[in-house]
Structure 1
Amino acid sequence: MDALQLLPSDRNTSPAHMAPLAKLPVFWALEGKSAIVAGGSDAAAWKAELLAACGAEVHVYAEELSGTFANLINQDGRFFHHRKQWSPASFEDAAIAIADCENDEAAAAFFHAACRAGVPVNVIDNPKYCQFQFGSIVNRSPVVVAISTDGAAPILAQAIRRRIETLLPPALKSWAELAHSIREKVNAKISPGAARRAFWEGFVDRAFGAAPETQTEAELLADAGRIVAQAKPSSGRVTLVGAGPGDAELLTLKAVRALQAADVILFDDLVSDEVLELARREAKRMLVGKRGGRTSCKQEDINATMIALAKAGKRVVRLKSGDPMIFGRAGEEIACLEQEGIPVDIVPGITSASAMAARLGVSLTHRDHAQAVRFVTGHSRLGDLPEHLDWQNLAEPRTTTIFYMGGRTAGQIRARLLAAGMAAKTPAVVMSAVTRSDEKRWIGTVNDLAEAVEEIGVDNPILIGIGQAFSVALSKAETRAQQSDEQAAEIRMRAI
C-alpha cells in the first residue's frame, strides 16, 4: 500500500478508541441463579420481576408485601417469600442483591453485608449504596437495549427508550431468535470473512421488515449456499458515501450501514468527527483531505489507493463531505474504479445548499421568488472563477444561485453579477461550517458580498446563496438588527 502519501493531521486515523464511560454496560446471565430482594414495596416488586424475567430464583425478604408484590409472588413460581428481615446468612450463594430501604442506616447495613459476602448490590434510589445501576430497557429479547444516564436524568433515559421503541419493530424478537438458531449452520457453510459478513448484512436487511415465516430459515440457508458458490477470492468493493454538511444526525440510514460495514474508510478533511464516530471501530481510517490553499492528496493517489484496497478484498468507503455527486469529483473516481472492474455503490448525502436552506428556514424554489435553482462552483482548478460561466443567466432575477467554494472569489462574483445587470440590493447569504458548532452566517445584499466573506473568513469552505428566495431571511435579519438597535438605545436612555 504505497499508493497514497498520508497527510499530516491531528485527526485520529487509527481504529477508534472507546471514549470515557460513566459506567460499564454489562449484560448479566442470571438463569438458575439465586437473587435477593429485601423489602416488600412496589419498587422492590419491579426489580424482583426483572430478575425473575432473567430466569433467577428470587428470594424476597419482607415481613409485609404491597398488593402488587403479593399478586406477583402468587402468580409466579420463581419467587420465594421469606416473611422476615434479611440476615447475613441470606447472601449465601446469591448472585445479586437488591434492597428498598427506608433510610440511609438500613441502606448502609444491607450494602456492607452484601459487600462482605462478595455479592453485587443495589439499593433502590440510593446511588451511594449501589455497585451497579439499572438502565431503562427496550425488550426484544434476545435483543435487549439498556439506556443509562448515570442517574443524572432518568426522564431523559425514558425519552430515549421511547424513541428506540419506535425504531425497533416487535418482529425483531423473532428474527433474533432465528439468528440464534441458524448461527452454527451458517458458520459451518461460510468461512469467516467478507462472505459471512455479506450473509449477515442481508439477514439484517430482512430483520427490520415483516416477521419471519415458516420457510424463512430454509431460504436463509439457501442464501448462505449461494453466497459461498458466488464468492470470489479477495473480491472487494468501493462505496462512495455522502457525509452531509457535518451534523451526524443528517446522515442517511444507508450511509450509517456502509460505515458500519467498512474495512477501510478514506475520508475528506471536511468530514466531522461526529460522523466518523458512527463507523465500525475496527475499520482503518485514512485521511485523504482535499482543501483549497492547503496540502492535499492528489486525486490520482486517492484513485490508486481505492483500487489497491479493493483488489486486496477490502470493503472501502470513500467518505465525502456533502453529496459525493455534487462537486465531489465522484465521476472521476467512478470511472477509474469501473475501468478496473471494481464494483461501486453510491450513497447520496445532504448537500450543503440544502442544509443552508434548512438552517435559514427558506425554500430555494419558493414559487413567489424563483423558478429554478443552480449550483455553481466558485473556483476552477486554477483557483480562479471558471471561465465559461454564463453570467447573464446567473444574473436572472427569478433564479436562486448557490456558489460552492466561492470564498476567495466572492469579490469577482459580485462584480460579474452586477456587470451582468443584477440589482445591487438582491438578497445574498454567506455561510461557513453549515450545521456545525462553529457555523457562521451573514445575510445582506450582493453589493456587500466581498466584505461579508472578509468578515466571516475563509478558514472553512464558504457557501454563497443569491436570489429573491433569501428575501425572507434578509427581512428577518433586518428586523432583528432594528430590535437590537432599539434595545441598545433604551439601555443608553436608562443609563442617562
Structure 2
Amino acid sequence: MPVSVPLFPLFADLKDRRVLVVGGGPVAERKTEALLHAGARPRVGAPDLTPRLRAWHGEGRIDWIPGHFDAHWLAGAWLVVAATDDTAVNRAVATAAEARHVFANVVDDGELSSFHVPAIVERGPLQIAISSGGGAPMLARHLRRQLETLLDDSWASLANLFTRQRQRIRQRFPQPGERRRFFEALLAGPLPRLFRQQLHAQAEQHFQAMLDERAAATHAGSVAVVGAGPGDAGLLTLNALRAMNEADVILHDRLVSEDVLRLGRRDATYIEVGKSATGHSTRQDDIHALMLEHARKGKRVVRLKGGDPFVFGRGGEELEFLRAHGIPYEVVPGITAAVACAAYAGIPLTHRDHAQAVRLVTAHCKDSFDTLDWHALAQERQTLAVYMGVAGLEGLRDRLVAHGRAPSTPFALVENGSRRDQRVVTGTLADLPEIARSHQVRSPALLILGEVAALAGTLHWFGAPPVDAAVPTQSRNLPAPTLQAA
C-alpha cells in the first residue's frame, strides 16, 4: 500500500468473533494476547506453539490448527494475522485473504497488509490509536510513549463514569449540541482534578449536581465572528480553534482553506457563504439571515472569515446586525492577509531605511477608485498592501504614477500567500498589469507595493523563490484582465 494513501481509522468489535493467527512464535503470541484482550476467539495455525500459547490452548481460550498454512483455515474468520518468519507463507496468507475478502495484517509488511494494528494508549474504555500507515511504526511508538506520560489514570475514571451514565445523559440532553456543552462544562470544571486526587465520591457528587443544574438551564444561541487567517492552518489562534471545535454551524468564506476547515468539528454543519467578483456570491443579507436563523435555534454559530474579520471583512456590519437582533456575539481576530502574505514572502511591511508607514487598501470595482486619496497613496517611504488582488491593476498603476509615485517602485504579487502553492511575482510599478497578465496571477492574491517589496528576492524563506518578472513586449497593450477579487 503506498504511504500516500491514508488508512481509514476503525475500531473493530471482535467479541466472540473468530480471528485467525498464522504462526506460533513470540510475535504470534503477542498478537494473540491482544486479540484475547479484545474478546476475540483466536484460532492459531502453526506446526508448534510457544509454551504460553500451548497453555492458552489447554485452557480452552484459543483453538489450535497444527500444521502448515492452508487457505481453508480462513473459513469463518473475520480477520487474519500473518505472524510467521517465512515471507512466502505470509504472502500466501495475504493472497488467500484477499481472495476471500478477509482483512489481513502481515506483521512488519505494510504492503501486504490490508489492515494495520496501531500503537495503542489505553485508559479504561478510552483508547487512542496511533498509526503511520505502516510507513513509520517507530514514530507511532515514540508518540505513544509521549502520550503515556501525558495521560494519567484519571482519564480511565472519566471514561468509566461517562460510560456508566451514558443513558442518563442522553435522556437529560436529547440534542447532540446540549450533550456536547454539558461535557465541555464538566471537563472544564473540577471533575478531572477530583479523579486525579482519588476523590471518587466527591467526583460522583459533582457529576450529579452538574447533571441536575445543566438540565434545568436553557441554552441561548450565539455567534463567534472568527478570523481564519490567509490559509496556513498553523496561523489560527487558540481561540479560533476553540470556537471552531465548539461550533454547531460554521458559515465560512470560499477562500478559507481546506486545511483550516479540517480543524473544525467534524459533525458541525458547514455552509459556504463566499463572495466572488465573477462567480456566484452569497448576499450579505443572506449571511445575516443564516446567522440569525441558527442562533435563534440555540446553536453556536461560527462566522469564519479569511484573514481578519475587521479588515475588509464586513465584520462590523455583522456585529451591528447581531446586536440589533439581540444575539450574543464574540470576535476572534485573525492574521490579516497583508501581515501574513508579506511575512511568508520575506517582505517586511515597515523598514527603517525604506518604509515608515503601511496603508491597507481595497478597491473592488472601478467606481471605488474615485473614493481613494491617490495623492496620499502615491507618497514615497510607505508600503501599500492592496487587497483587491489582481483586479484593476492598470487603473491602480496609472493613478499612482499620475500622482507622483515613481514607475520604478518595486512591487510583489503574493498569490495563495502562506499556502503550499504560494507564488510570488515581483517587478516594478510601470509594468505591473502586464506582468500580472503574462504570469496569469489569480486570486487569492495580495499586492505589496513599495521599496520593501524589493527585499523579497533576498529575504524569501517559504516556498518557491520569487519570480523576477520580465514583461513580454507583445503583452504590454493587452487589456487588463477581470479577475476574482481577493
Question: Is contact 2:365–2:392 with CA below 8 Å preserved after alignment?
Answer: no
For 2:481, the equivalent position in structure 1 comes to none
> What residue identity is the alignment partner of 1:230?
A
Alpha-carbon distance change, 420 to 178 in structure 1, aligned in 2, over 3 angstroms: farther
Alpha-carbon distance change, 361 to 344 in structure 1, aligned in 2, over 3 angstroms: same
For 1:170, the equivalent position in structure 2 comes to 151
Question: Is contact 1:265–1:286 with CA below 8 Å preserved after alignment?
Answer: yes
For 1:313, the equivalent position in structure 2 comes to 298
User: In the TM superposition, what are the counterparts of 1:216-235 in structure 2 within 5 Å?
Assistant: 216-232=203-219, 235=220
> What residue identity is the alignment partner of 1:334?
L
Counterpart check, 1:473 vs 2:456: yes
Alpha-carbon distance change, 165 to 433 in structure 1, aligned in 2, over 3 angstroms: farther
For 2:371, what is the secondary structure of its paired residue? coil
For 1:364, the equivalent position in structure 2 comes to 349
Measure, in 2, the Cα distance between the counterparts of 1:146 and 1:378: 48
Moved more, 40-49 or 343-352: 40-49
For 2:447, the equivalent position in structure 1 comes to 464
Alpha-carbon distance change, 203 to 161 in structure 1, aligned in 2, over 3 angstroms: farther
Q: CA offset at residue 320 of structure 1?
A: 1.7
Q: What is the root-mean-square deviation of aligned Cα atoms in Å? A: 4.8
Q: CA offset at residue 299 of structure 1?
A: 1.9
Measure, in 1, the Cα distance between the counterparts of 2:120 and 2:274: 40
Measure, in 2, the Cα distance between the counterparts of 1:437 and 1:427: 25
For 2:303, what is the secondary structure of its paired residue? strand
Q: CA offset at residue 441 of structure 1?
A: 2.2
Measure, in 2, the Cα distance between the counterparts of 1:373 and 1:351: 13
- Deviation sequence 1:403-453 (CA, Å, 0-9, x none): 211533434444554566555444321122324465442122334333333
For 2:121, the equivalent position in structure 1 comes to 139
For 2:23, the equivalent position in structure 1 comes to 39
Measure, in 2, the Cα distance between the counterparts of 1:311 and 1:24: 37
Q: CA offset at residue 186 of structure 1?
A: 2.9
Q: CA offset at residue 330 of structure 1?
A: 0.3
Q: Which has the higher contact order (CA 8 A, sep 6+)?
A: 1
Measure, in 1, the Cα distance between the counterparts of 2:98 and 2:389: 65
User: Identity of paired residues, percent?
Assistant: 33
Gaps of 5+ in 1: 1-20, 486-496
Question: Is contact 2:378–2:404 with CA below 8 Å preserved after alignment?
Answer: no
Question: Is contact 1:270–1:321 with CA below 8 Å preserved after alignment?
Answer: yes
- Deviation sequence 1:4-52 (CA, Å, 0-9, x none): xxxxxxxxxxxxxxxxx87654312345767554434443344234334
Which of 359, 362, 368 is equivalent to 1:378? 362
For 2:174, the equivalent position in structure 1 comes to 191
Counterpart check, 1:403 vs 2:377: no
For 2:38, the equivalent position in structure 1 comes to 54
> What residue identity is the alignment partner of 2:293?
A
Alpha-carbon distance change, 386 to 264 in structure 1, aligned in 2, over 3 angstroms: farther
For 1:352, the equivalent position in structure 2 comes to 337
Question: Is contact 1:366–1:469 with CA below 8 Å preserved after alignment?
Answer: yes
> What residue identity is the alignment partner of 2:393?
A
Measure, in 1, the Cα distance between the counterparts of 2:222 and 2:411: 42
- Deviation sequence 1:128-162 (CA, Å, 0-9, x none): 875x42243241443334355665xx22x654675
- Deviation sequence 1:150-203 (CA, Å, 0-9, x none): 65xx22x65467568768941483443443344344334333243222112334
For 2:84, what is the secondary structure of its paired residue? coil
Q: CA offset at residue 254 of structure 1?
A: 4.4
Alpha-carbon distance change, 336 to 185 in structure 1, aligned in 2, over 3 angstroms: same
User: In the TM superposition, what are the counterparts of 1:69-80 in structure 2 within 5 Å?
Assistant: none
> What residue identity is the alignment partner of 2:213?
R
Question: Is contact 2:414–2:423 with CA below 8 Å preserved after alignment?
Answer: yes
Moved more, 101-110 or 422-431: 101-110
For 2:368, what is the secondary structure of its paired residue? coil
Gaps of 5+ in 2: 471-486
Alpha-carbon distance change, 309 to 456 in structure 1, aligned in 2, over 3 angstroms: farther
For 2:312, what is the secondary structure of its paired residue? coil
For 2:288, the equivalent position in structure 1 comes to 303
Measure, in 2, the Cα distance between the counterparts of 1:85 and 1:97: 17
Q: CA offset at residue 324 of structure 1?
A: 1.5
User: In the TM superposition, what are the counterparts of 1:95-114 in structure 2 within 5 Å?
Assistant: 97-103=80-86, 106-107=89-90
For 2:425, the equivalent position in structure 1 comes to 442
For 1:134, what is the secondary structure of its paired residue? coil
TM-score normalised to structure 1 length: 0.71
Measure, in 1, the Cα distance between the counterparts of 2:418 and 2:426: 16
> What residue identity is the alignment partner of 1:379?
A
For 1:384, what is the secondary structure of its paired residue? helix
For 1:29, what is the secondary structure of its paired residue? coil
Measure, in 2, the Cα distance between the counterparts of 1:441 and 1:180: 53
TM-score normalised to structure 2 length: 0.73
For 1:392, the equivalent position in structure 2 comes to 376
Question: Is contact 1:52–1:78 with CA below 8 Å preserved after alignment?
Answer: no
Question: Is contact 2:228–2:256 with CA below 8 Å preserved after alignment?
Answer: yes
> What residue identity is the alignment partner of 1:353?
A
For 1:237, the equivalent position in structure 2 comes to 222
For 1:353, what is the secondary structure of its paired residue? helix
Measure, in 1, the Cα distance between the counterparts of 2:469 and 2:385: 29
Alpha-carbon distance change, 481 to 388 in structure 1, aligned in 2, over 3 angstroms: closer
Alpha-carbon distance change, 303 to 424 in structure 1, aligned in 2, over 3 angstroms: same
Question: Is contact 2:79–2:104 with CA below 8 Å preserved after alignment?
Answer: yes
> What residue identity is the alignment partner of 1:303?
H
For 1:6, the equivalent position in structure 2 comes to none
Q: CA offset at residue 329 of structure 1?
A: 0.4
Which of 336, 359, 367 is equivalent to 2:321? 336
For 2:256, what is the secondary structure of its paired residue? coil
For 2:250, the equivalent position in structure 1 comes to 265
Question: Is contact 1:99–1:122 with CA below 8 Å preserved after alignment?
Answer: yes
Question: Is contact 1:40–1:64 with CA below 8 Å preserved after alignment?
Answer: yes
